[in-house]
Amino acid sequence: MPSTALLYFKSAIVLLIVGMAAGIAMSASGDHTIYSAHAHLNLLGFVVTAIYGAFFALSPASAAGRLAKIVLVLHVGGTAVMFPSLSLLLLGNTAIEPVVAASSVLIFLAAIGFAVAVFRRTA
């Protein structure tokens, strides 16, 4: 498996554990205020990252290029910033909204980069 693909899977697992811990904390406290951030983290952090990793595992030529690494940094970085900033926004800190927006843009750019990688693949 290409090392870049393995990094996607390792990142997905770390983000899954953080997302599950957040879910357990919400359940234990009875406070589900940040449920939307928790859902974003599990979907973007685990599911999407793992899907990206699966593609790059199945396409070693795509994984070897710079684009795969750029997508990884943008996606994982954006997701790692989005979870705490979205949590703070949901808890009432409206000043953090530009950070949530910026992290969303990073994740969107990663998705565009991933689309380029998929459509560029020839074999």
Query: Between vectors from CA 41 to CA 79 and to CA 82, what angle results, nearest 5°?
Result: 40
Cα separation of 30 and 38, whole Å? 14
The overall average pLDDT reported for the chain is 96
Q: What is the pLDDT of residues 69-100, one digit of tens each?
A: 999 999 999 999 999 999 999 999 999 999 99
Q: Which residue stretches of the chain have pLDDT < 70?
A: 122-123
Give me 120's structure tokens. 């560029």
pTM score, whole prediction: 0.93
Q: What is the pLDDT of residue 123?
A: 58
SS3 category, 92: coil
Q: Scan for tokens 């926004």, then name that residue.
A: 89
Q: What is the pLDDT of residue 111?
A: 99
30 dihedral zone (left: phi>0; alpha: psi -120 to 50; beta): left
Q: How far apart are the first and last CA of the chain?
A: 17
Cα separation of 86 and 3, whole Å? 31
Q: What is the pLDDT of residue 122?
A: 63
